[in-house]
Amino acid sequence: MNINKYRLTEIHEQIVMYLNTNGFSKTTIHTYDCFLRNCYYCFLSPLKISYEDLLHKYLQLNPNCKKAKVISMLGRIQYFDINNELPTKHNSFFIQNENILSSEFQMIIDNYIRVRRNNGIKESTIWTESVSGGTFFAYFQNRGIYTLSDINESDVLDLFLNEDGVLKLTYSYMKSVRSVLKANIGSDKFQPNSIQLVISYLPALKQIRKNIQYLTVNEIKAINLVLIGNTNLSKRDKAIGLLALKYGLRSSDIINLSLFSVDLDKEIINVYQQKTGDPYTLKLIPIVGNAIYDYVTEERPKSKETTLFLRKTPPYKALDSKSAYSISIAIINESKVRTEGINRKGFHLFRHNLATHLLSEGIKIPIISSILGHTSPNSTEKYLSSDFVHLRKCSLDVSIFSKEKEVLYEH
């Protein structure tokens, strides 16, 4: 699909109008506005150019920009040009284009996308991994390498390590690249074992997990008090806070609940996980059900929107992730807990708290995984490091050691 400066001007006006009409934030509108204005400098003539050429020209004129963000932004603009609306998911039309990758590398990306979609993998995951795979192959093309058989181990290590042998890229990036390659194992379109050979070149990186922060008993009491008591919090924020605290729901799942998700008669909540795409049902706790009922009957704005929780000011649209985080901060500030800046905040902390509490009560990991909506029990195992109740049982009694100074103390 081709575009010229005149058409880009039309799209610019239409996107700004679209963002304003649909209640997007001023920051988002400003981001699109500035980006599109910068795109004008890519046109040196009235002739049409492809979006891929526009991408290359933009990156050439703006060498210090973040390539992934430019790819994403232009992908969304092209999507708007085709569909007259902005996509709701990440979209990129460039990483999957033969003008950027060689035919063999592009075949790997295309086959990966086909396999992962057939396996029901979420589109945002496919997008993230395909972009990583695309940048991986683009790196080799910049070195004059256009086929798998020409990739050697030193080239791969140069990508991941600097001259001092220090890691430049992350475990998650390596994992995404590995996923793209593994999806092509067994394909007869490449030389035998070429995929496995490149996979073997990837460095054996260890996944580094952050320490799990948890809420203390006193912090939980303080948060509970502000969520059920007479405080400055709105009924909406109290209901959202209780959903996060009692069920450990992800903020994305809370803000995507609809009016039909909560069945007060059957006393259930039907949750559709945005991260995994899997639905599951929760038993409605009376304190949560009452909070939701109070919000809907007394405070929720009148709107045609079916989303359960809405913005407080016009236009009355669904909340976004930033709004959810702001609500979590308001709850924590009202509770007067975790006031130090180094402490983690946000609803994911409530999720951590539920997981560690269930572990301390002896609940098995597969059951906790189902409660938290994890697709794999491995996702729950990271909480084991904060299960102090059971970790204490694994500690050794120091009385079995000699009490000589050099044993128990440093010199």
Hey, which residues are catalytic here? 250, 275, 348, 351, 374, 383
CB atoms within 10 A of CB 407: 9
Q: How far apart are CA 147 and CA 121, in angstroms?
A: 27
Asked if 244 and 350 count as a contact pair (C-beta separation under 8 A), the reply is yes
> DSSP letter at 299?
T
Q: How far apart are CA 356 and CA 380, in angstroms?
A: 10
Reading the block at residue 92, the tokens are: 């990129």
β-strands 268-272, 262-263 pairing: antiparallel
Q: Residues, the chain, total?
A: 411
DSSP conformation letters of 267-292: TEEEEE-TTT--EEEEEPPHHHHHHH
Helix 5-21 crosses helix 26-39 at what angle (to 10 degrees)?
Answer: 180
269: nearest Cα among 256, 287, 257, 251: 257
Q: How far apart are CA 71 and CA 153, in angstroms?
A: 28
Tell me, what amino acid is at 188? D
CB-count exposure of residue 406 (10 Å: 0-12, 13-18, 19+): exposed
- Phi, psi (deg, nearest 5) at residue 269: -125, 125
Cα–Cα distances in angstroms (integers) from residue 178 to residues 24, 105, 132, 256, 368, in the given order: 36, 14, 10, 32, 29
> DSSP letter at 263?
E
